[in-house]
């Protein structure tokens, strides 16, 4: 009944892997960024995003048997990790930055340009 929580740098493959796991294991999928944008009707770049991200992690961390894909910045707040660990196994996807940069459109990911 534990969740499977995927964390890692933006562009590392969390979305792709979570979609594959969801289908393979017949488990529902929650993408925390999408959950937050829908819940608060806001964009990822807006003020207070990280604060609301923590609230969403606490809510999603109470669910059972989900595949959870996180945003790249979720690890910036230890409270997020604590909330997601309550009922989940956290898997860190470690992909070399060089490969991420070769696959990701940098204009679409402003944080990667530096």
The whole-number mean pLDDT for each consecutive block of 10 residues of the chain, a chain of 114 residues, reads 93 94 97 93 81 95 96 92 96 90 64 55
Q: What is the pLDDT of residue 44?
A: 77
Q: What is the pLDDT of residue 39?
A: 92
63-66 long-range contacts (CB < 8 A, ≥24 apart) are 63/3, 63/30, 63/87, 64/1, 64/2, 64/3, 65/1, 65/2, 65/3, 65/27, 65/28, 66/3, 66/4, 66/27, 66/28, 66/29, 66/30
């Amino acid at each position: 009944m534990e969740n499977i929580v995927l964390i890692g740098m933006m562009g590392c493959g969390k979305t792709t892997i979570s979609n594959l796991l969801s289908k393979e294991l017949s488990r529902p999928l929650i993408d925390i960024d999408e959950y937050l944008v829908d819940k608060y009707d806001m964009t990822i770049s807006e003020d207070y995003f990280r604060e609301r991200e923590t609230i969403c992690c606490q809510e999603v961390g109470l669910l059972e048997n989900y595949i959870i894909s996180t945003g790249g910045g979720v690890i910036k707040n230890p409270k997020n990790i604590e909330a997601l660990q309550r009922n989940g196994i956290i898997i860190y996807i470690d992909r070399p930055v060089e490969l991420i940069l070769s696959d990701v459109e940098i204009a679409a990911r402003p944080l990667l340009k530096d």
